[in-house]
A and B are shown apart, each in its own frame.
Chain A
Amino acid sequence: MKAANFEYERPGDIKSVIALAEREDIVTKLLAGGQSLGPMLNLRLAQPDVLVDITAIPELKRVEENADAVTLGACITHADIEDGRVPDGCAGALSTVARDIAYRAVRNRGTIGGSLAHADPAADWISCLAAMGAEALVSGPAGQRTLAVAVLMTGAFDTALAPGELIEAVRIPRFSRSARWGYFKVSRKTGEMAQAIGVVLHDPDRGVCRAVMGATESAPIVFAQAAALFGGTSGAPALDRLDLDAATQALITAGITDAIDRKLHITALKRAIGRAAQA
């Protein structure tokens, strides 16, 4: 289990990364924290010619704040977020999510951008940031664009990023004071990837009521209008109004045929609702 031969570059700016990616004579792969790519290299599931380390690029470690949102560079680590070294516009929700990702050693290196780009269905950020209404700021040969996290992931380990594009940063809208947030991850043991994820964000002042069922076989199931899960009623998501048939139907539509898998997803959703209600 040793990686196949590769060259290593560590450019200092995004332009150089894109230039390398545009070369047709080589296959490149971006390296952020290496926590997902490292094993793939060693298992020889990835065999790039050139590994492009993006952790020396200042823009990718930037932190910007304004009244509406916090923008975190793609190379901000899970541990940066867990420890509060970057601002948390979501009343502590970001650091709570970060804390439950993997083990500390992985969190020290793993990045928010790498996690989104890797698009593991069981990963935490893809579901949470979708529920938060976050956007990925993307740069590529054709310039910059933004992509809602909710549509970034197109399938298991697959994204809407075009060849040569990279995630530069993630823009995360701030919670208002009225926001209620609930997150629940079902996993076999501490530090493991999720078997099911439930997320609920109710922020009436901003007119937001979203729910997500994640860690499916593919992209998370996002209910941009969570009212659909609660019999069409507005107001705070409440367990007693949860429409189990609607939730089950969404899971079936997403291809989850196994009853026990569905039970875990429903449980995660219910517990997220419960947590939001207590928040």
Chain B
Amino acid sequence: MESAPANPGQGIGASVLRKEDDRLLRGRGQFVADLRLAGMRDVAFVRSPLAHARIRAIHKPHECGDDIYTAADLAPVKPIRAVSGLPGFKVSEQPVLATGKVRYVGELLAMCVADTRARAEDIAASVKLDLEELPAVHDMLAGRQAGAPLLHDSWGDNVFLETNVEAGIARAFDAPIKVTREIRTARQCMAPIEGRGVVAHWDRRLEQLVIYSATQMPHIVRTGLSECLGLDHERIRVVAPDVGGGFGYKGILLAEEVALGWLAMHCDRPVRWIEDRREHLTAGANCREHHYRITAYAERDGRLIGIDCEATVDSGAYSAYPFSACLEAAQVASILPGPYDFPAYRCRTYSVATNKCPILPYRGVARTGVCFALELVLDAIARETGIEPHEARMKILVRPEQMPFDNITRKHFDSGDYPQALRRAVAAIDLPAVRARQKRGEPDGRLIGLGTAVYCEQAAHGTSVYAGWGIPMVPGYEQASARLTPDGGLELRVGVHSHGQSMETTLAQVAHEILGVALARITLVHGDTAFTPYSTGTWGSRSMVMAGGAVARACEEIARRAISIGAWLLKAEASAVRVIGGEVVGPTSKVSLQDIARVWYLRPQDLPVHVNPGGLEATVGYKPLRDSGTFSYAAHAVVVAVDPETGNVEILDYVIVEDGGKLVNPMVVDGQICGGVAQGIGTALYEEMPFDAAAQPLASTLADYLLPGPTEVPAMRIEHMEIPSPYTEFGVKGIGEGGAIAPPAAITNAINDALRALGAREILQSPATPRRILDAIARAGEAAP
């Protein structure tokens, strides 16, 4: 299946330019840090310099004691509790300002407020801390050992949760091929261009706490604030203005948000905190640290029979709200089989508390690590059995005739042709040509390598999946409101948030598809709990499936109402008129939606007697036919050149063949893929947040924490397959995270392919830094761990 026709107007399938870019590209966006409220004061936090310590005392200097707040001042504020209902889950309580102990470097100890941030930092620097250092858990595997220092004294160990999934693993034990690897992924930071930020004030007229926050989930933040501050929901309004990227970090209730909310109520002045990059890197946006001990069993021809895995995730000190500390590790067990069909499986997982800041879900969440582990062992099997890596995958990819397919962990694949994606990717990268070039050798001595990886991305999964996790937030029906304005414009109200996803454009395209109102006259209202239906927000690649479906339903309802008024005005039967291109069209005449709206609002004397009094405004809820999620997927193929003397890697070619179901705006989808791949390249080659043995974070600026830049991200070649989901409106599938999932696996496989010529040790840890590559070369001949 090829992309939609070139010119479908402004509706579904049209690559229209983004409506939001007119303001964003001219620098006219309005982000939290752009807000100026009269009398606003700035906050700086005193953060723990130690990873693990008992708090003996916090001394406020006399001269500015009134501008410093500690846990004692915030006494009625409740800690953040993100519980999971999974059996055995141990609960952590994250105090908003630390009490008793600090459990990671950067944990909040005191809040300082002044007229400028610089002055607030002066005050913060004047606070004297009396801390008794305790031994720290800096590594998840060490944290699992008996006798490790305890983070949460009452637990008895440091394991938030242990899970085990098993399906006939014994069947695999006498397989002729057995490959075991120990694989690690680095702790990373999400690094959206805009960090977190909060402006809070108390609205006296409405008796309401108003929180402007750089968040992707305003309604969930409101619920969390309500719990921690003990305020009724009506007393809280959360506004998410323009938000400069989120990737998961902005889907978390921050202690800083709660603290600012409390402060705004107490100091009777607007207050703000804008996260700086050091706070962001060392105390905020951490994610992704996994460890796998994985064994793959296969036939002699390379067909995978079974996977046996023990996975550990470094969860950090606390369970983050609302996703909890278990989501990442427990998901590993259910998604490790990826897009493959094989008969034997076992996976045990551990979510381990360490003295590091909590890890948070990042684009792709557990999938990036899982894909890395599985795809690296599949390449190891291919090498062991002497076949091309894509051949090993072809033998086990779920086939189109199996759809819909329930896999070994009972994931329900809705539709797709996975082998086609891989076949096309291998063809596009031109495998024979790459192998010939590899054999020929490069004039500059660099080594050529080819890597592939395939993943699937479960998206927009709903109640049936999340109810089982028992976390504070379970998505249900998604609602949207549509309202025709008196002059014929259309307002859409949604509780999801657009912060890079282009929803101001794409949801308008959905509405246009149904009502034909020109995109220029469609406005998306979002990011404000006062104006939008409750929603769990934007996460899990769910917004187009869920909010797109809801917008379609709401617009269909508006169409029905407009038809009944229009038919009356046209003196036609309702069954004989239709909405086409912004007009209600009857057998002999037509009337525009604009005229219908004018009649409803301004000339009600012209309305039919039995008109629906709901008028031209409707809120409708939506869920796909099945809420077990859509499955988008892609095959990535990459060619790299590795410099064996510097360890540097250049990406020479990158191909993606992806099925995202029906594409609402193919250009926007390409943008999502490119952005995701850029982040995946960061994961593969550059990004790493190291800690020393005292659990001190070692990358505190972007000079230490390397991100890929324009010269490191190559032009990519993207091919689309549009196999619709049978369960969703228009057949759309969620695609927001996919780009970030496969690159670390594909690129590392390519590097290992390149290094094979030297007999180097396999790279089994991300990122594949020059040092790791040179080390692998230096240790040629040593067996893999």
Binding site for B on A (CB under 8 A): 1-5, 39, 43-44, 186, 188-193, 195, 259-260, 263-264, 267, 270
Q: What is the chain A residue whose CB lies nearest that of B643?
A: A267
Q: Which of B726-785 contact A (CB under 8 A)?
A: 769-771, 774-775, 778
Which of B114-122, B134-142, B250-258 is near enough to bind chain A? B114-122
Extra A-B contacts (4), CB below 8 Å, given A5-B118, A189-B711, A190-B709: A1-B121, A1-B277, A43-B701, A191-B711
A267 touches B645 (CB 8 A): yes
A192 touches B118 (CB 8 A): no
Smallest Cβ distance from A35 to chain B, in angstroms?
12
Smallest Cβ distance from B713 to chain A, in angstroms?
10
Write 24 A-B pairs (CB below 8 A) sorted by A numbering. Answer: A2-B118, A2-B121, A3-B118, A4-B121, A4-B122, A5-B118, A44-B121, A44-B125, A186-B648, A188-B648, A188-B686, A188-B769, A189-B708, A191-B709, A191-B711, A192-B706, A259-B778, A260-B775, A260-B778, A263-B774, A264-B646, A264-B770, A264-B774, A270-B645
Contacts of B117 in A (CB 8 A): 2
A2 touches B116 (CB 8 A): yes
Complex Cα–Cα for A267 and B117 (A): 46
A43 touches B278 (CB 8 A): yes
What 1/0 flags go to B42-70 for Cβ under 8 Å of A?
Answer: 00000000000000000000000000000
What 1/0 flags go to B604-640 for Cβ under 8 Å of A?
Answer: 0000000000000000000000000000000000000
Complex Cα–Cα for A188 and B685 (A): 10
Q: What is the chain B residue whose CB lies nearest that of A190?
A: B711
Smallest Cβ distance from A112 to chain B, in angstroms?
21
- B384 CB–A CB distance under 8 Å: no
Complex Cα–Cα for A264 and B774 (A): 9
Contacts of B712 in A (CB 8 A): 189-190
- B21 CB–A CB distance under 8 Å: no
Smallest Cβ distance from A128 to chain B, in angstroms?
19
Smallest Cβ distance from B75 to chain A, in angstroms?
30
Complex Cα–Cα for A78 and B276 (A): 28
Complex Cα–Cα for A139 and B646 (A): 41
Q: What is the chain B residue whose CB lies nearest that of A186?
A: B646
Contacts of A2 in B (CB 8 A): 116-118, 121
- B703 CB–A CB distance under 8 Å: yes
B278 touches A188 (CB 8 A): no
A1 contact from B276, B645, B686, Cβ within 8 A: B276
Complex Cα–Cα for A1 and B778 (A): 41
Complex Cα–Cα for A43 and B778 (A): 38
Q: What is the chain B residue whose CB lies nearest that of A266?
A: B645
Contacts of B118 in A (CB 8 A): 2-5
Contacts of B770 in A (CB 8 A): 188, 195, 264
Complex Cα–Cα for A90 and B278 (A): 41
A189 touches B686 (CB 8 A): yes
A267 contact from B125, B646, B706, B709, Cβ within 8 A: B646
Contacts of B277 in A (CB 8 A): 1
Complex Cα–Cα for A44 and B276 (A): 14
A188 contact from B121, B701, B706, Cβ within 8 A: B706
B778 touches A193 (CB 8 A): no
Complex Cα–Cα for A192 and B709 (A): 11
Q: What is the chain B residue whose CB lies nearest that of A1?
A: B276
Contacts of A267 in B (CB 8 A): 645-646
B278 touches A1 (CB 8 A): yes
Smallest Cβ distance from B761 to chain A, in angstroms?
14
A263 touches B645 (CB 8 A): yes
Q: What is the chain A residue whose CB lies nearest that of B772?
A: A260
What 1/0 flags go to B686-713 for Cβ under 8 Å of A?
Answer: 1000000000000001010010110110
Contacts of B122 in A (CB 8 A): 4-5
Smallest Cβ distance from B647 to chain A, in angstroms?
8
Complex Cα–Cα for A193 and B703 (A): 9
Complex Cα–Cα for A37 and B278 (A): 17
Q: What is the chain A residue whose CB lies nearest that of B646?
A: A186
Complex Cα–Cα for A130 and B701 (A): 29
Smallest Cβ distance from A271 to chain B, in angstroms?
8
Smallest Cβ distance from A37 to chain B, in angstroms?
14
Q: Which of B354-374 contact A (CB under 8 A)?
A: none
Smallest Cβ distance from A190 to chain B, in angstroms?
4
B711 touches A260 (CB 8 A): no
Contacts of A43 in B (CB 8 A): 278, 701
B116, B125, B646, B686: most-surrounded residue (chain A CB, <10 A):
B646
Contacts of B769 in A (CB 8 A): 188
Q: Which of B93-137 contact A (CB under 8 A)?
A: 116-118, 121-122, 125
What 1/0 flags go to B33-46 for Cβ under 8 Å of A?
Answer: 00000000000000
A260 touches B276 (CB 8 A): no
Contacts of B774 in A (CB 8 A): 260, 263-264
Smallest Cβ distance from A193 to chain B, in angstroms?
7
Complex Cα–Cα for A192 and B712 (A): 12
Contacts of B778 in A (CB 8 A): 259-260
Complex Cα–Cα for A3 and B771 (A): 35
Smallest Cβ distance from A12 to chain B, in angstroms?
28
A189-B121 in contact given A43-B278, A260-B775 (Cβ < 8 Å): no
A189-B645 in contact given A1-B276, A1-B278 (Cβ < 8 Å): no
Smallest Cβ distance from A122 to chain B, in angstroms?
10
Complex Cα–Cα for A213 and B662 (A): 57
In the A-B complex, the 8 residue pairs with the smallest Cβ-Cβ separation, listed nearest first, are A2-B118, A190-B711, A1-B276, A267-B645, A260-B774, A2-B117, A186-B646, A189-B712
Complex Cα–Cα for A264 and B277 (A): 30
Complex Cα–Cα for A259 and B775 (A): 9
Complex Cα–Cα for A195 and B116 (A): 38
Contacts of B703 in A (CB 8 A): 193
Smallest Cβ distance from B327 to chain A, in angstroms?
31
Smallest Cβ distance from B416 to chain A, in angstroms?
36
Contacts of A44 in B (CB 8 A): 121, 125
Complex Cα–Cα for A267 and B445 (A): 13
Smallest Cβ distance from A217 to chain B, in angstroms?
16
Q: What is the chain A residue whose CB lies nearest that of B44?
A: A2
Q: What is the chain B residue whose CB lies nearest that of A195?
A: B770
Complex Cα–Cα for A192 and B125 (A): 31
Contacts of A259 in B (CB 8 A): 778
Contacts of A186 in B (CB 8 A): 646, 648
A189 touches B706 (CB 8 A): yes
Contacts of A5 in B (CB 8 A): 118, 122
Complex Cα–Cα for A260 and B777 (A): 11
Smallest Cβ distance from A149 to chain B, in angstroms?
24
Smallest Cβ distance from A7 to chain B, in angstroms?
14
A39-B775 in contact given A1-B278, A188-B686, A264-B646 (Cβ < 8 Å): no
